[in-house]
Structure 1
Amino acid sequence: MIGDLRWRAWTGVIADVWNVACEHGARGEYISQAPRLVVVLDQVGDGGIHVTASPNQGGAVRSIGRQSMSYVPAGVRVWSRVENLRRLTHLDLHFDLTALEARLPDELDRDAVETPRLTFSDERLFGLARLIAAECVEPGGFHDLYGDSLISAMMVGLLRIAPKADRKRGQLPPRQLKRAIDYIEDNCGRNIRLQELAELTGLSQSYFCSAFKASTGMPPHKWQMRARIDRAKALLSRPDTTPAEAAAAAGFADQAHLTRVFRQVVGTTPAAWQRSRAA
């Protein structure tokens, strides 16, 4: 392995990013007690990794290249062989299905859960995988709702979960919406897990996200980020508060993080906004 292992844990999943040096003809045999998704993020070399559910490397053997992935159910053994690669970067996601099912309004399709999908590609899933990997390698200072949302989207796309035909999703009732908003704004300075908000309203995590967005026009993590900006504005309204102090008090990782998000939301920097208020 090259460098340190980078990893993160969110509700129901452990994500880790591996950078490895490859020897020609290297072989491996793997089995996991948890379902996992392996995504090839990048590689150096013209070859690939051959992956199969059979040790003889026959029949269905195919080469994994960039942007390819393999879903392996729990307890399923797979074999791999490296050819003509010098380096490889891949993301591994290890799923706790019991915890993840709590996010979804419908039961998981057991056939999809238990069926291997080796060496397939999907642009949308790959895009999610890159965002998840980025949070492992260089966390952006986002609260855990961001990672939880990425994992939920990955699960829905990976297992192709569709809502039941007779299920109609609407907005949150006013009382539930107020309860959720008050909770987010009262706790915006810390990481709020999606599970907390779902339990607060008595809904599944997936249903809550959909209903909250239908009610407010934005997902919960964006609402929390705006609440942090509002808190930072209130602090910066005091001329003796510095942007660094406002960033720490409002829950941002540092002043640079506040400045980046503040500019995106407000259209200017915290310092410029504070000067304009004092003028």
Structure 2
Amino acid sequence: MNFHPRMQSEVDGVTVVGDVRLRFFEGAVADLWDVECEASARGEYVSHAPRLVTVLSRTGPGGMDVCASPGRGFERERASNPLIYVPAGLRVWSRIEDISALRHLDLHFDVGILARRLADDLEPGAIDEPRLMFSDDRVMALAQLIAAECETPTGLHDLYGDSIVCALFVALMRVDRKFSRTRGQLAPHQLRKAVEFIEDNAARNIPLDELAALTGLSAAYFCHAFKQTTGMPPHRWQMRARVNRAKHMLEASDLSLSAVAVGSGFADQAHMTRVFRQFVGTTPHVWRKSRKG
């Protein structure tokens, strides 16, 4: 795993008890902490990755506060399980009063991986919105499952933890379903990548494997999904792109039909004429004549 979160911190009155339990998941790094706190403990933190801090349990009658302004007065949070979401680069200050012990789970998110999994469903700017000292039963329940995985030396299959991390991120970012996609279709971002690539490279032969690699799918599955989404296979979409390019050249220039054929990616004039007629219903010569009056 290439994702290794870096965080700068200064703490006063907090002592780590035992070892920090660390787990790597697809899309996040989780670390589970047990700490002892003096009567008045403080901390200052900043990280290059967004993170969620979940207070799982605490001992003592007091409270705690986390804020993005060191000069703000102490606002004691009495909720039993506060959650703190801190965007990347945001410096925060914590204060703990009359709590002798804390157990908390920190989740550091690899936004690149999680955003790709959510495709176009993640709202722009959502990851940059701080949510300090809030409650959410669903996020808390998922965090507790992740903490249990951190405590288990071996844990269950990677898919289990990875799925919980993704579910927690969806709940945390409040990602709603944006569209209903028929099973077997391409996601919008996959279709956009493939179509733009075909349009830009229509004049050359594009191997199916090259297109499939853009979407992270096998060639066979990509071909099926592309047809399910657009109503035509990738090769026919490319032929249509060549016809559109030929139309532009026929209308905007006085090039010969053979030159237009080569310039738009067809093998020769006869090939262009055959494909052009399939899509347009007439020959390039007749179409050009009608367009130019």
Shared fold per TM-score greater than 0.5: yes
Could you say what secondary structure the match of 1:106 adopts? helix
Runs (5+) with no aligned partner, structure 2: 1-15, 186-214, 222-293
> 1:97 maps to which residue?
111
User: Highest CA radius of gyration, 1 or 2?
Assistant: 2
- The alpha-carbon deviation at position 201 of structure 1 amounts to 5.7
> 2:289 maps to which residue?
none
| Change beyond 3 A, Cα 1:139–1:162 | farther
% same residue = 51
> 1:77 maps to which residue?
91
For 1:62 and 1:169, the matched residues in 2 are separated by: 46
CA RMSD of aligned residues (A): 2.2
Could you say what secondary structure the match of 2:88 adopts? coil
| Aligned residue pairs, count | 176
- The alpha-carbon deviation at position 172 of structure 1 amounts to 4.0
TM-score with structure 2 setting the length:
0.56
Of 40, 44, 48, the match for 2:55: 40
For 1:12 and 1:64, the matched residues in 2 are separated by: 31
| Change beyond 3 A, Cα 1:65–1:139 | farther
Deviation sequence 1:127-159 (CA, Å, 0-9, x none): 000000000011563211111110111111000
Q: 2:26·2:162 contact (CA, 8 Å) conserved in 1?
A: yes
Could you say what secondary structure the match of 1:124 adopts? helix
Displaced runs of 4 or more, over 6 A: none
Deviation sequence 1:205-260 (CA, Å, 0-9, x none): xxxxxxxxxxxxxxxxxxxxxxxxxxxxxxxxxxxxxxxxxxxxxxxxxxxxxxxx
> 1:54 maps to which residue?
69
- The alpha-carbon deviation at position 23 of structure 1 amounts to 0.7
> 1:16 maps to which residue?
31
RCO higher in structure (CA 8 A, sep ≥6): 1
For 1:64 and 1:110, the matched residues in 2 are separated by: 32
| Change beyond 3 A, Cα 1:64–1:117 | farther
Task: Kindly provide the amino acid, as one letter, of the partner of residue 171 in structure 1.
Answer: R
Q: 1:106·1:163 contact (CA, 8 Å) conserved in 2?
A: no
For 1:49 and 1:88, the matched residues in 2 are separated by: 11
Q: 1:36·1:74 contact (CA, 8 Å) conserved in 2?
A: yes
- The alpha-carbon deviation at position 11 of structure 1 amounts to 1.1
For 1:23 and 1:57, the matched residues in 2 are separated by: 21
Task: Kindly provide the amino acid, as one letter, of the partner of residue 147 in structure 1.
Answer: G
TM-score with structure 1 setting the length:
0.59
For 1:201 and 1:39, the matched residues in 2 are separated by: 39
Of 158, 175, 180, the match for 1:168: 180
Task: Kindly provide the amino acid, as one letter, of the partner of residue 168 in structure 1.
Answer: S
Q: 1:70·1:117 contact (CA, 8 Å) conserved in 2?
A: yes
Could you say what secondary structure the match of 2:147 adopts? helix
